[in-house]
Amino acid sequence: MIANRNPETGIAYGYISAAALDGEVVAELMDGKGTTEFTNLSYQSWLSATSGGSEDEFYENFDTYMPDEEEVEGITKEGVHYKSSWLGGALNFWIFESPVTTDKARGASPCVPGAGILDTLDGSGTAYDVPADWRRQD
């Protein structure tokens, strides 16, 4: 099995910096707007850790949920399966599946081996991509 590839299709997962995406798109991905499925993985982890105590303890700690690097996963209405990722303190997104692919993804660094980097489409690799209107327009 090759790392960071869809095991059924063999297409590389895409990996894109939040800075390469439109800010409104990033906000929607992080809060789950426009998704058919959404899980705040950080919140679920926090909830599991705090739910071991009494109900009173849970509500006393409720205001303490403040993750530094929030991890979320979802599937958008467009059919893009994504997950947030933090690398060196910067927000990025894995694109696990999408109706959009590119043949111009860059090869990835050892940090995300086998993935296709989508920030600048000037490579020669095939990977799942984001819809064109998600990209930041400078």
For 119, other C-beta atoms within 10 Å of its C-beta total: 17
Q: Is 10 helix (H, G, I), strand (E, B) or coil?
A: coil
Report the distance separating Cα 9 and Cα 119, nearest Å. Answer: 22
For residue 20, give both structure tokens.
């390469």
pLDDT of residue 43: 80
Q: Is 43 helix (H, G, I), strand (E, B) or coil?
A: helix
Closest CA to 119 of 78, 75, 134: 134
pLDDT of residue 74: 97
Q: Cα dihedral sign for 69, 113, 96, 8? A: negative
CB-based contact 18:25 (threshold 8 Å): no
Domain ranges of the chain: 14-39+71-134
Q: Is 95 helix (H, G, I), strand (E, B) or coil?
A: strand
Q: Is 5 helix (H, G, I), strand (E, B) or coil?
A: strand
Percent helix, strand and coil across the chain, each to the nearest 5: 25, 35, 40
116-117 and 35-40 as β-strands: parallel, antiparallel, unpaired? unpaired
**What are the pLDDT tens digits along the chain (138 aa)?**
578 999 999 999 999 999 999 999 999 999 999 899 999 898 888 777 766 666 666 666 666 767 788 899 999 999 999 999 999 899 999 999 999 999 999 998 888 999 999 999 999 999 999 999 999 997
